[in-house]
Amino acid sequence: MASDTFAERHRLPLLSRIVVATLIALVVAVPLLGGPLAGSAAGLSPYMANIIGQIATFALLALALDLVWGYGGILSLGHGLFFAAGGYLIAMHMLKAGYVFGGVTPDLMTFMGWSELPVHWAFFESFPYALLMIVLVPGLLAFLYGYVSFRSRVSGVYFAIITQALTYVAMLMMFRNDTGFGGNNGMTGFTTLLGQDIGGHAMVVGLASASVLALLVAFIGCSALLRSPFGKLLVAIRDDEARLRFLGYDTLWPKLAAWCLSGILAAIAGALYVPQVGIINPRLLSPELSIEIAVWVALGGRGALSGAVIGAAIISALKFWLTGFVPEAWPFILALVVLVVVTLLPNGLLDLKPQVLWRGRRSGKRGMIE
Amino acid sequence: MKRRNFVKGLLTAGAGSVIASPWVARKAVAASNSGTVKLGCLFSSSGTMANIEGRLNYVAQMAAEEINAKGGVLGKTVEVVTTDPGSDWPLYAQLGRQLIQQEEVAATFGCWTSVSRKSVLPVVEQNDALLYYPLHFEGEENSKNVVYLNSPPSSSVLPAVEYLMGDEGGSARRFFMLGSDYVWPRTINQQLKGYWAEQGIEPEAWREEYVPVGHSNFQTLINEIREFANQPGGQPIVVLTVVGNSIPDFFREFINQGISAFDIPVLGLDAVEADFEGLDTAPLVGHLNCWAYLQNAAGPRNEEFLSNWSNYVAANDVPFSPNVAIDPMVSTYDGVHLWAMAAEKAGSFGVPDVRDASAGLTFACPSGYDISMTSENTYVKRGVFIGSLNENQGFDILWQSPDTPEPVPFSPYMNS
Amino acid sequence: MARRRVDFGHLLVSFILLCAASLPALAQDRGTIIAEICSGDFGAQQSALGQLAAAGMSEDSSDATWARRIVEAFEGRELRCGNGVALITTEDGAVQAASMEPSDVDAETLAPPSVNLRLRATAASAAAILRLFIEEDAANRLSAANYIDRRREAATAPILSAALERENDAEVRAVLSTLRASLLLEDPDPANRIAAVEAIAQDATLRNRTTIAEAMRDESDADVLAAGDAAIASIDRMLQVGKILSTLYSGASYASVLFLAALGLAIIFGLMGVINLAQGELIMVGAYAAWFTQEAIRTALPALLDYYLIIAIPISFMAAALVGLLMEVIVIRRLYDRPLMTLLATWAISLLLINTVRVTIGSQNLEFHQPYYVSGGFPLVGDFIMTSNRLFAIVVAICACVTVVVLLRRSLFGMNIRAVTQNRAMAGAAGIDTRRTDMMAFSLGSGLAGLAGLALSPLYNVNPGMGTGFIVDSFMVVVLGGVGSLIGAALAAIGIGQINVIVEPIYGAVAAKVFVLLLVIVFIQWRPEGLFAPKGRR
């Protein structure tokens, strides 16, 4: 498509390269400035490292959504479900490991009056098992829901609404204490991860570095994937699925594959996020939060992975900054930004440069993904 | 090409500086503030807890003003830094971290629900900071980084239930426990069941139901309560541990179904005067609550506190009623003063010093009691009031304790 | 409703009253009664209240009047005691309780005796009994009799007999004789006991069933036992009917809430394919408009305050419609061919609306005056009470449904909407101004949301965030019912409401909601177009 070659030839590779370069720089800088050089003038405080790590996980989450939305045309307003799934699974591991090896009884056992943890907590003290679950469980969830929906040709707006409903249902279920996930209290009181003290300086910097590294790897991997034939097929499905079907392609499996991959990436982001904030709670499953993820991607620019990463980074950074200074103003700023972007910049910030620099050439309709 | 690169570079630099700016700002701020000492507040101004938590920010500021008027603490002015966790429990932890690590507050005042306190607990413990917690709660906790300004169940829930089971209170023998689904109601109900088992009450005499936090549709549940009440076995009461906006929703449905407190009294353990601001309480007269302070507490200290609050609201355009004072407001007020006294006594703002200096402090609380702390733990000894709802959305004092009972952090009635 | 059980306190009071009943005047002099009431001893206070109630029977009518004064002062905390003195505070100063003579003792130095729930109940009952004897107006006596029916703490057979003797009004007599009959459950004469059982059974409630069942446990007379069994059986039947009605009513009321919230959305979504995530906030705007109307009426025309809900109907509608119109013109108009972007845009608008209201008015719950037609309820069958506020919502929902259907079917505007819904291009070619239709339809949908806010204000807390609870449910109703179909939306609302209400008592509110949502999701997979899909949809 014209927009594809246009974007690829002129914008994307360059922007992608910038993003990759920034990420590589961060992967090097964060452990250095946070570790050995922490005391120096340019040193990174644990607080800042923590913020950078959290922003990296949000960027990974946005990347996961952009994979299916920007390139697959599947809007999900319930990606918080996968994010939270990854988060809950790692939390279960930390609590179980703390209980089995450290003798720290999880709060939820105390106030529920349980003498042992429910059956679905079995084996979670093992880190490899937890990792396996983080890949399997969200993958399975994504597969189940994706398979049923794509087969019934549920798409577009309906699909989006139903993902909202799904994350809402999950939130309601997790709010109940009897499901054994800590209910409204969620899970907190993590002590160690992989034997290291969770609150310690080393762990904070380590997690932040790991988050940035994960983002880098995911970015490079997904970019490569999208440039491959599979990626081209995905984009073709986005642009005109019916035509593709008529041409004889089976559109179900590519969509499903991309959807499952997206779910797993989101779960990994969640698994990196939760140890950094120290708590997980069903609020993560709220429909509003899942919509915010779509906002990040829309703002940065759906058409490119780098757009999603930049969008998530900017909005999260703004949020952290502003909620510290002027918490009342933040919702207004966010709303206004979204409105401006949605009405004036259909492709998000990626539209900014062409409109500024190429006057007369309206890239409004063309290149717009819907 | 060059211009494009330039613009891109500018954008990336812009994003980078946005991320870095709090870091830079913090260093600048730290350099400039040496004449003030900061106190942080973690009370929500939005979300389901906003109506009740929001007031506590202002009371803390009022208390700080009083202290500053007398010369501050150790020569420094007290500055209160407020945040808005938005009734979002993880955000309490995040903002707590920000207050302690970024703003470097000397102490934090915060949290209402136990879940928010439990979110902040790891943060204060990891940073050896102090959280002054103004709400009555379920106990089962004794962290040296939290000053428990208000009562555990031994001095709040149990006296009220004992009263209701006694002759004067109506000889309650059947109990419908209705709570929001989180740690405080679940723990309270566990302790109550243990207590009743000891009193020889059979398990058939109670029922336990939980609703999500923020639940508003109580139609079916109140039908069930009526059914429960009409079964034989003795006087039924409702032990209500729902919180936030669920409280007025519950009572509104109670009114609509025409149930009076004579038939089924409700012990609203988290119900404060502010929860009834939107309701006509004439049909609700007689329901009970139990706190360490009630607005109708007698005495000149309370009158002074109430008039100070009223003036403060008028002078500072506070978006809350000048005529309503609730227990956590007074606890927060006490907490700020207790902190100031401890810091003066210790001669420093360091957390271990303040904590050690707290032992043996007493303060003249507006409730009329002299509250105090001991060296044994970080609990505050307070008085107990049992209140009865009246027509004017206030609580009349049905009973109050003769002195300040010893708080019991860990209940003997918890099983397991 | 009968007494739940016979307890010691009540026995004591009855005993004293039986003794008292044999005397024509007050059993004890006024001073002793006052002393007992002031004593702070629970048993003594109960007995004093009983005697005060019995004062109604006294031949000296001034006794009854005095007794009523004391009881009301006790209830209203105007009675103050201490140092051997008892006063009643009035507007003109204090009077002595026993003699009603003015007193110059400072009332502030004395305290009211403590009034706990049991005493309060007894006092209320005693006050009603005294009203029965004193009031001239039959209507007042009738209301007193009905009150005593619910609150029997101070009522005994001798008192009621005395009242019956003096009563002329037929209605009041009817209530009193039934009441007296039901008090005779303990009477030595079996015939009286049977009469009591039958009198109680006339009011088929679970409480009465329990009363009869407990009385039958100690019963030995075969006839009485048979009467008891028959009474219990008939009560059980009525209770069953009541339970079914109650479930249906709860389901209907929940359905009406869902329908009202989803109605506007059905039109907007159906017509324009616009996903309006700000729908909940439009509901909020309507509720706030109702509140402003209430406040305006309260200051300008306080006499009409009870009717503010009615007066606010057009106001809530217009306010929300206006906000919707602004939304459409400023933002949504540019995004019509991009449904996913409208979703984000409306979400942003909802954020703006919530926070604007929060910052300007505040996040506290608004206080709504509850006029008589939305407070209380009508006890119907068994234990089923039809609460008025939900009835109001049901009525508004039905009216709104009918109005909108008529509007769509019979008006030009409605025809335009239907045409544009079915085939936008052809409608435009046929000369319909699609832009204008969109604008008007969006306003209509928003206005209906405002109406929903008004109808829901007696039911839910009104605060800036109230709308967020309705979004997911509204969308489920619209999607299940079939986009663009009003009948579909109505049926979907009824279905969802009923299923929810049926599951709730079994598994809890959350499980019910989860179950219903999953059911809808599965249904959509199987039949994506919903229940009723108008032709021409995808």
Q: Distance between CA atoms of C48 and C67, rounded to whole angstroms?
A: 10
Coil/strand/helix, residue A71: coil
Angle formed at CA A308 by CA A302 and CA A310, multiple of 5 degrees: 130
DSSP one-letter code for C383 = T
Cβ pair A287:C472 closer than 8 A: yes
Average pLDDT on B338-348 reads: 93
Helix axes A229-239, A252-277, angle to 10 degrees: 100
Going by C-alpha positions, the residue among C314, C252, C251, C257 that lies closest to residue C455 is C257
Q: Which residue of A has its CA nearest to C526?
A: A152
Q: Distance between CA atoms of C340 and C328, rounded to whole angstroms?
A: 16
* For chain C, domain boundaries: 2-176, 179-241, 242-526
Examine the pLDDT at B25 and tell me if it is beyond 50.
no
Examine the pLDDT at B12 and tell me if it is beyond 50.
no
All residues of chain C having their beta carbon less than 8 Å from the beta carbon of residue B167 are 42
Examine the pLDDT at B5 and tell me if it is beyond 60.
no
Q: Are the CB atoms for A134 and A90 separated by under 8 Å?
A: yes
**Residue spans of chain C under pLDDT 70:** 1-27, 534-538
Cβ pair C370:B221 closer than 8 A: no
**B179 Cα to chain C: minimum distance (Å):** 13
Cβ pair C351:A153 closer than 8 A: no
Q: What one-character-per-residue DSSP string does B261-285 give?
A: TTTS-EEETT--GGGGTTS--GGGT
Q: Kindly state whether A190 is in contact with chain B, defined as any CB-CB distance less than 8 angstroms.
A: yes
All residues of chain A having their beta carbon less than 8 Å from the beta carbon of residue B12 are 18, 22
pLDDT of residue B175: 95
Cβ burial of C373 (10 Å; 0-12, 13-18, 19+) is middle
Residue A269 identity (one-letter amino acid): A
Other CB atoms within 10 Å distance of the CB of residue A330? 21
Q: Kindly state whether A320 is in contact with chain B, defined as any CB-CB distance less than 8 angstroms.
A: yes
Q: Rounded to 10 degrees, what is the CA torsion of C477, C478, C481, C483?
A: -170
Cβ pair C250:B286 closer than 8 A: no
Q: Is B1 contained in some domain?
A: no
Cβ pair C365:B248 closer than 8 A: yes
All residues of chain B having their beta carbon less than 8 Å from the beta carbon of residue C369 are 280
Going by C-alpha positions, the residue among C194, C192, C182 that lies closest to residue C155 is C182
What is C242-526's CATH number? 1.10.3470
Q: Are the CB atoms for B102 and B33 separated by under 8 Å?
A: no
Q: Are the CB atoms for A141 and A85 separated by under 8 Å?
A: yes
pLDDT of residue B21: 45
**B236 Cα to chain A: minimum distance (Å):** 25
Cβ pair B168:C210 closer than 8 A: no
Q: Is there a single domain that holds both residue B227 and residue B290?
A: yes
B84-101 burial code (b ≥16 CB/10 A, e <16):
bbbbbbbbbbbbbbbbbb
All residues of chain A having their beta carbon less than 8 Å from the beta carbon of residue B21 are 321
Those chains having 3 or more beta-carbon pairs within 8 angstroms of chain A are B, C
Q: Is there a single domain that holds both residue B282 and residue B189?
A: yes
All residues of chain B having their beta carbon less than 8 Å from the beta carbon of residue A280 are 90
All residues of chain B having their beta carbon less than 8 Å from the beta carbon of residue C379 are 258
Q: Kindly state whether B143 is in contact with chain A, defined as any CB-CB distance less than 8 angstroms.
A: no
CATH of the domain at B286: 3.40.50.2300
Q: Rounded to 10 degrees, what is the CA torsion of C408, C414, C415, C418?
A: -70
Q: Is there a single domain that holds both residue B396 and residue B270?
A: yes
The number of C-beta contacts closer than 8 angstroms across B and C is: 125
Q: Distance between CA atoms of B318 and C400, rounded to whole angstroms?
A: 40
Going by C-alpha positions, the residue among B249, B244, B253 that lies closest to residue B283 is B253
pLDDT of residue A203: 86
pLDDT of residue A366: 38
Going by C-alpha positions, the residue among C96, C99, C78 that lies closest to residue C87 is C96
Question: Which residues 206-225 in chain A show a CB within 8 A of chain B?
Answer: none
Q: Is there a single domain that holds both residue B93 and residue B158?
A: no
In whole numbers, what is the pLDDT of chain C averaged over residues?
83
Report residue B290: phi and psi, to 5°.
-145, 115
**To probe the interface with A, which of C331, C332, C340, C522 has the most A CB atoms within 10 Å?**
C340
All residues of chain C having their beta carbon less than 8 Å from the beta carbon of residue A169 are 513-514, 517-518, 521
Q: Distance between CA atoms of C510 and C259, rounded to whole angstroms?
A: 20
Q: Which residues of A touch C (CB under 8 A)?
A: 75, 77, 148-149, 152-154, 156-158, 160-162, 164-166, 168-169, 172-173, 175-176, 287-288, 291, 294-295, 298, 328, 331-332, 334-336, 338-339, 342-343, 346, 368, 370
All residues of chain C having their beta carbon less than 8 Å from the beta carbon of residue A338 are 344-345, 347-348, 351
Tens digit of each residue's pLDDT (9 = 90 or more) over B275-305: 888 788 888 888 999 999 999 898 899 999 9
Q: Is there a single domain that holds both residue B273 and residue B312?
A: no
Q: Distance between CA atoms of A314 and B19, rounded to whole angstroms?
A: 8
Q: Is there a single domain that holds both residue B176 and residue B250?
A: yes
Q: Are the CB atoms for A232 and A4 separated by under 8 Å?
A: no
Structure tokens at C460: 């839910």
Cβ pair A177:B186 closer than 8 A: yes
Give the model's confidence band at B23: pLDDT under 50 very low, under 70 low, under 90 confident, else very high. very low
The number of domains in chain B is 2
Q: Is there a single domain that holds both residue B136 and residue B182?
A: no
Residue A136 identity (one-letter amino acid): L
Those chains having 3 or more beta-carbon pairs within 8 angstroms of chain B are A, C
Residue B389 to residues B254, C111, C215, C413, Cα–Cα distance (Å): 14, 18, 34, 54
pLDDT tens string for chain A (370 positions)? 444 554 454 445 777 888 888 888 888 888 888 777 777 777 778 888 889 999 999 999 999 999 999 898 898 999 999 999 999 999 999 998 888 888 888 888 887 878 888 888 888 888 899 999 999 999 999 999 899 888 888 877 788 888 988 898 898 888 888 788 888 778 887 888 887 788 778 888 889 999 999 999 999 999 999 989 999 999 999 888 889 889 988 889 999 999 999 999 999 999 999 999 888 888 889 888 898 899 899 888 887 888 899 999 999 998 888 877 777 788 898 899 888 888 887 767 766 655 443 333 334 433 443 3
Cβ pair B101:A284 closer than 8 A: no
Predicted structure pTM score:
0.81
Selecting from A22, A283, A357 the residue whose C-beta is nearest the C-beta of B3 gives A357
Q: Is there a single domain that holds both residue B263 and residue B180?
A: yes
Q: Distance between CA atoms of C159 and A201, rounded to whole angstroms?
A: 81
Q: Is there a single domain that holds both residue B141 and residue B176?
A: no
pLDDT of residue C165: 84
Tens digit of each residue's pLDDT (9 = 90 or more) over A130-156: 999 999 999 999 999 899 888 888 877
pLDDT of residue A368: 40
Q: Is B303 contained in some domain?
A: yes
Q: Is B416 contained in some domain?
A: no
Examine the pLDDT at B376 and tell me if it is beyond 90.
no
How far is residue A80 CA from its own chain's centroid?
8
Examine the pLDDT at B17 and tell me if it is beyond 80.
no
All residues of chain C having their beta carbon less than 8 Å from the beta carbon of residue A153 are 528
Helix axes C206-217, C190-201, angle to 10 degrees: 160
pLDDT of residue A6: 44
All residues of chain C having their beta carbon less than 8 Å from the beta carbon of residue B51 are 363-365, 463
Selecting from B83, B119, B416 the residue whose C-beta is nearest the C-beta of A188 gives B119
How far is residue A131 CA from its own chain's centroid?
17
Structure tokens at C12: 């004591």
Q: How much of chain B exceeds pLDDT 90, in percent?
A: 46
Report residue B370: phi and psi, to 5°.
-95, 110
pLDDT of residue C5: 43
Q: Distance between CA atoms of C244 and C256, rounded to whole angstroms?
A: 18
Q: Kindly state whether A314 is in contact with chain B, defined as any CB-CB distance less than 8 angstroms.
A: yes
Average pLDDT on B326-345 reads: 94
Instruction: Please enumerate in sequence order all residues whose Cβ is within 8 A of that of C519, keeping only pairs 6 or more positions apart, or say none.
Output: C499
All residues of chain B having their beta carbon less than 8 Å from the beta carbon of residue C116 are 168-170, 388, 398
Going by C-alpha positions, the residue among A135, B259, A162 that lies closest to residue C523 is A162
Going by C-alpha positions, the residue among C48, C63, C38, C37 that lies closest to residue C12 is C48
Q: Distance between CA atoms of C504 and B221, rounded to whole angstroms?
A: 9
Structure tokens at B54: 């929001």
Cβ pair C339:A331 closer than 8 A: no
pLDDT of residue A363: 40
Q: Distance between CA atoms of A105 and A99, rounded to whole angstroms?
A: 5
pLDDT of residue C160: 84
Tens digit of each residue's pLDDT (9 = 90 or more) over B26-43: 444 443 457 899 999 999
Beta strand B107-110 with B77-83: parallel, antiparallel or unpaired? Answer: unpaired
Instruction: Please enumerate in sequence order all residues whose Cβ is within 8 A of that of C292, keeping only pairs 6 or more positions apart, or say none.
Output: C315
Q: Is there a single domain that holds both residue B394 and residue B376?
A: no
Question: Which residues 312-331 in chain B show a CB within 8 A of chain C?
Answer: 319-320
Average pLDDT on B204-228 reads: 87
Coil/strand/helix, residue A286: coil
Residue C172 identity (one-letter amino acid): V
Q: Is there a single domain that holds both residue B172 and residue B290?
A: yes
pLDDT of residue B329: 94
**C279 Cα to chain B: minimum distance (Å):** 19
Tens digit of each residue's pLDDT (9 = 90 or more) over C131-175: 888 888 888 888 888 888 777 777 887 888 888 888 888 888 878
Structure tokens at B6: 């330039």
Q: Which residue of C has its CA nearest to A162?
A: C521
Instruction: Please enumerate in sequence order all residues whose Cβ is within 8 A of that of B83, keeping only pairs 6 or more positions apart, or say none.
Output: A323, A324, A327, B40, B41, B42, B95, B98, B99
Q: Distance between CA atoms of C291 and C312, rounded to whole angstroms?
A: 9
ipTM of the complex: 0.84
**B362 Cα to chain A: minimum distance (Å):** 33
pLDDT of residue C303: 85
Examine the pLDDT at B201 and tell me if it is beyond 70.
yes
Cβ pair A335:C349 closer than 8 A: yes
Full domain range(s) for residue B202: 154-294+385-400
Q: What one-character-per-residue DSSP string does A290-305 give?
A: HHHHHHHHHHH-TT-H
Q: Which residues pair with B267 in a beta bridge?
A: B239, B288
pLDDT of residue C92: 75
Q: Which residue of C has its CA nearest to A177?
A: C510
Q: Is there a single domain that holds both residue B244 and residue B120?
A: no
